[in-house]
């Protein structure tokens, strides 16, 4: 024990202490009561503040330790963590801004791409410059920025096409129809043009009347130039003409002899000689039908008598003629026949009349047809 005494009660104090044990214990008790009262007041004040303020959402934070700590431990109360809501808010806003700007850029780029595609498509239609091509634009872009212009161009081109067709259809020149279809390949007049071309082509084919001409007609059908209304006739005629044999040498001379003798007999009006070189009945003889040798002879005699003729000569031109024989043995040839009337009156001039005729002989080389072409 030291001579040092407690300043509160005057009792002796241990060497290491300031207060005596009794005063020190009393001080501890007061300190605990004081801290307890302060804690109660703070909790009451917190409750009042919480009652006045709106509730806030709970934050996932570790549970705080009790606000009061054992004063003996001397451990300081835990500090509150900072609120992370503002940071998350700003991050979210930044992301939304980035997404928004990206969407705007995408829409703008898509618009430019669409406009560029439409412009390119329109330019390609202009290069073709046909009603069909402009119609394709209207189908692709019915509300396009060139829609009105496309409609105007279609009307203008159709009107010109109609005017051109009105002139072409009056013509008998098949080449004009080919030119029209080449200029207007998708014309609404295409079928009508092909139909007219078919008739024109068939007329020319019949005039030529050769295997090659009928084959050409058939070929034009296959490539779509004509409709082919006469295709069966063309095939039949082509098949027939393809079997024809052109006479040469003695075979040709024998036919020439028959023709010479027949027309000499007609000139002499000799019934027997006419009959010797012709069939019993000729289906056609110049301007007469279904006549026999006697009828021909009588007509010639009557003509000589009525016109007071010295003679009536029937003279065939047989130089360079072509005689053909078909598969049935029928002979055909075209000759120029000149009929000369000589009058008894020498003051009158001879009258000459020429005919282009088609002559047919049967397999026995008897003349059965002498028709004016």
Q: Does the residue 97 lie in any domain?
A: no
Residue at a domain's end among 226, 242, 258: 242
| Number of Cβ atoms within 10 Å of the Cβ of 241 | 17
Q: What is the DSSP string of 125-180?
A: HHHH-SHHHHHHHHHH-TT-TTHHHHHHHHHHHHHHHHHHHHHHTT---HHHHHHH
Q: Does the residue 163 lie in any domain?
A: yes
Q: Does the residue 65 lie in any domain?
A: no
Same-domain pairing of 309 and 352: yes
The pLDDT of residue 285 is 96
Same-domain pairing of 261 and 334: yes
Same-domain pairing of 274 and 234: no
Residue at a domain's end among 168, 186, 211: 168
Instruction: Kindly state the percentage of the chain with pLDDT values over 90.
Output: 55
- Residue 337's Cβ-count burial label (10 Å; 0-12, 13-18, 19+) is buried
Q: Does the residue 226 lie in any domain?
A: yes
Range of the domain at 234: 171-242
Q: Does the residue 346 lie in any domain?
A: yes
Report whether pLDDT(350) > 60. yes
CA 94 vs CA 79, 172, 280: distances in Å: 31, 81, 117
Residue at a domain's end among 208, 242, 276: 242
For the chain, give the mean pLDDT.
83
- Tell me how far apart the alpha carbons of residues 30 and 43 are, in angstroms, rounded to a whole number: 20
Q: Does the residue 136 lie in any domain?
A: yes
Task: With cut-offs at 50, 70 and 90, classify the pLDDT of residue 83.
Answer: low
- Tell me how far apart the alpha carbons of residues 205 and 201 are, in angstroms, rounded to a whole number: 6
Instruction: Report residue 71: phi and psi, to 5°.
Output: -60, -25
- Tell me how far apart the alpha carbons of residues 268 and 310 are, in angstroms, rounded to a whole number: 11
For the stretch 283-331, pLDDT in tens is 999 999 999 999 999 999 999 999 999 999 999 999 999 999 998 999 9
Task: With cut-offs at 50, 70 and 90, classify the pLDDT of residue 105.
Answer: confident
Q: How many helices (H) and strands (E) does the chain have?
A: 11, 8
The mean per-residue pLDDT over the stretch 118-146 comes to: 88
- Inter-residue contact 301 to 269 (CB < 8 Å): yes
Q: How many domains does the chain have?
A: 4
Same-domain pairing of 145 and 179: no
Phi-psi label, residue 129: left if phi above 0, alpha if psi -120 to 50, beta otherwise: left
Q: Does the residue 222 lie in any domain?
A: yes
Q: Token pair for residue 365?
A: 């080389």
- For the stretch 174-188, what's the b/e string if a residue is b when 16 or more beta carbons lie within 10 angstroms of its beta carbon? bebbeebbeebeebe
Report whether pLDDT(77) > 70. no
- Tell me how far apart the alpha carbons of residues 201 and 216 are, in angstroms, rounded to a whole number: 9
Task: With cut-offs at 50, 70 and 90, classify the pLDDT of residue 42.
Answer: very low
The pLDDT of residue 7 is 57
For the stretch 262-287, pLDDT in tens is 999 999 999 999 999 999 999 999 99
Q: Is the pTM of this model over 0.85?
A: no
The pLDDT of residue 35 is 40
The pLDDT of residue 193 is 94
Same-domain pairing of 265 and 297: yes
- Tell me how far apart the alpha carbons of residues 370 and 373 are, in angstroms, rounded to a whole number: 9
């Amino acid at each position: 024990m030291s001579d040092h005494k407690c300043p509160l009660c005057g009792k002796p104090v241990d060497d290491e202490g300031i207060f005596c044990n009794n005063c020190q214990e009393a001080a501890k008790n007061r300190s605990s009561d004081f801290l307890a009262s302060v804690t109660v007041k703070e909790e009451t004040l917190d409750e009042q503040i919480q009652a006045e303020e709106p509730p806030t959402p709970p934050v996932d934070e570790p549970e705080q330790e009790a606000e009061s700590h054992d004063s003996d431990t001397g451990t300081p109360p835990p500090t509150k963590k900072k609120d992370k809501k503002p940071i998350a808010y700003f991050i979210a806003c930044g992301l939304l801004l980035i997404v928004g700007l990206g969407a705007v850029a995408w829409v703008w780029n898509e618009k430019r791409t669409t406009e560029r595609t439409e412009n390119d498509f329109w330019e390609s239609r202009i290069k073709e410059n046909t009603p069909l091509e402009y119609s394709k634009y209207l189908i692709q872009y019915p509300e396009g920025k060139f829609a009105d212009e496309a409609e105007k161009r279609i009307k203008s081109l159709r009107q010109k096409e109609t005017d051109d067709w009105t002139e072409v259809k009056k013509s008998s020149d098949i080449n004009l129809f080919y030119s029209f279809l080449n200029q207007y390949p998708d014309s609404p007049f295409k079928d009508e043009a092909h139909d007219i071309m078919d008739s024109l082509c068939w007329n020319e084919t019949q005039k030529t009347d050769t295997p090659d001409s009928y084959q050409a007609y058939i070929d034009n059908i296959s490539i779509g130039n004509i409709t082919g209304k006469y295709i069966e006739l063309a095939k039949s005629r082509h098949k027939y003409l393809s079997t024809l044999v052109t006479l040469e040498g003695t075979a040709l001379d024998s036919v020439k002899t028959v023709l010479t003798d027949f027309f000499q007999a007609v000139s002499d009006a000799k019934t027997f000689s006419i009959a010797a070189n012709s069939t019993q009945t000729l289906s056609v003889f110049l301007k007469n039908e279904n006549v026999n040798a006697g009828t021909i002879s009588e007509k010639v005699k009557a003509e000589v008598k009525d016109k007071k003729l010295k003679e009536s000569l029937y003279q065939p031109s047989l130089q360079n003629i072509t005689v053909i024989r078909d598969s049935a043995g029928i002979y055909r040839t075209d000759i120029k026949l000149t009929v000369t009337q000589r009058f008894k009156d020498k003051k009158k001039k001879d009258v000459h009349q020429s005919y282009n005729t088609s002559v047919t002989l049967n397999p026995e080389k008897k003349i059965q047809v002498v028709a004016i072409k």
